[in-house]
Amino acid sequence: MRNDINRRWVLNARPQGALQPDTFKWEEGPMPTVCDGEFLVRNLWLSFDPAQRGWINDVPSYVPPVQIGEPMRALAVAQVIESRAPGFQPGDLVSGAFGWQEYAVSSGEGIMVPRKLVPGADPQVELSVLGGTGMTAYFGMESIGKPAAGETVVVSGAAGATGSIAGQVARLMGAANVIGIAGGPDKCRWLTQEAKFDAAIDYKNEDVGARLDALAPNGVDVYFDNVGGEILDLCLARVAFKGRIVLCGGISSGYGVDRGAGPANYFQLVIKSARMEGFIVLNYLDRFAEAAARMREWIDAGQLVWRVDVASGLENAPRTLAGLFAGANFGKQLLKLADPQ
């Protein structure tokens, strides 16, 4: 049900390191108005990703930085409640970058173009395994990692939204030995028992280098990196001949402006004739439908599993984002705002 107030979190200050209590500011204001060619949505679910921390840095990037006073950017699943735009009707569920607010107006354009969902779509699925994180995992592995039969694949941040899917995609593409690196026995147990990784390394309680030596004695053919830092260096030191390093994320850096020193073992890329390549999922927008179709086949066959971690209430958005950098989430982090009407 529509009301006359729009509650939202806006960017208040740019932190130099970790998120601070004054990074975001709570505001309550009038409902946005709808002009010709626009539609109004009510947000139902918000997606949380480490990249959001990078979006508030005032530096050039693949998307413009969130400006001071603007609602914090976030992908969401929302319901159209008023429309003066062709192709969007009240009641439609749509996915788009609608931000940390209860209501938003869209022209149907932008860097992250809103997408109308099929009737009956599950918002949790659309924001996780078939959303940006699932697409990131798929294209990073399929187009850059390119695991082959008999190869060893290592994934860091493996119990997270992207890493958990990336490892499974590698297995489904023929990798013989898929190893996940995650924090804590529960996450490692889920990786091997539910996601069918061949092995898992608990970086909080195990010697990662020693475990890699034991589990990948012939080296690492593909390393899908979500964390950077020390673990990237350990995998670089063990890269196999013609190996591929897929740079997806670097959560160990905190995504502040100062990312710290680069990897020390990069010269292994020369010694092993290996390759290290970064990417962003927006490079593959024209192939999303293709990837989603293939992922749905795996899901329907029971070959691909995923996990979501659900928080509730718009008031909890800042602490939910901060929790990603403390390893508090288990799977894709979502926040529920409301049920569809």
pLDDT digits (tens, 9 = 90+) for 48-62: 999 999 999 999 888
Average pLDDT over residues 180-185: 97
210 and 174 within one domain: yes
117 and 21 within one domain: yes
260 and 141 within one domain: yes
113 and 69 within one domain: yes
Q: Residue 42 maps to which CATH number?
A: 3.90.180.10
Average pLDDT over residues 33-54: 95
Domain annotation covers residue 290: no
199 and 119 within one domain: no
111 and 199 within one domain: no
> What single-letter DSSP state applies at residue 140?
I
* pLDDT tens, position by position, 205-240: 999 999 999 999 999 999 999 999 999 999 999 999
Burial class of 201 by CB neighbour count within 10 A (0 to 12, 13 to 18, 19+):
buried
Domain count, the chain: 2
112 and 41 within one domain: yes
Domain annotation covers residue 19: yes
Are residues 227 and 160 in contact, defined by beta-carbon separation less than 8 angstroms?
no
Domain annotation covers residue 277: yes
Domain annotation covers residue 201: yes
136 and 275 within one domain: yes
Do the bridges between strand 39-48 and strand 24-30 make them parallel or antiparallel, or are there none, so unpaired?
Answer: unpaired
Domain annotation covers residue 227: yes
Instruction: Give the whole-angstrom CA distance, residue 249 versus residue 180.
Output: 15
29 and 119 within one domain: yes
pLDDT at residue number 261: 73
149 and 275 within one domain: yes
Domain annotation covers residue 82: yes
Q: What percent of the chain has a predicted confidence (pLDDT) above 70? A: 97
Q: Residue 192 maps to which CATH number?
A: 3.40.50.720
Whether the per-residue pLDDT at 255 is higher than 80: the answer is no
Domain annotation covers residue 295: no
pLDDT at residue number 62: 87
Instruction: Give the whole-angstrom CA distance, residue 9 versus residue 129.
Output: 26
pLDDT at residue number 247: 97
Average pLDDT over residues 30-40: 95
Segments forming the whole domain that contains residue 220: 132-283
* pLDDT tens, position by position, 136-149: 999 999 999 999 99
Instruction: Give the whole-angstrom CA distance, residue 216 versus residue 211.
Output: 8
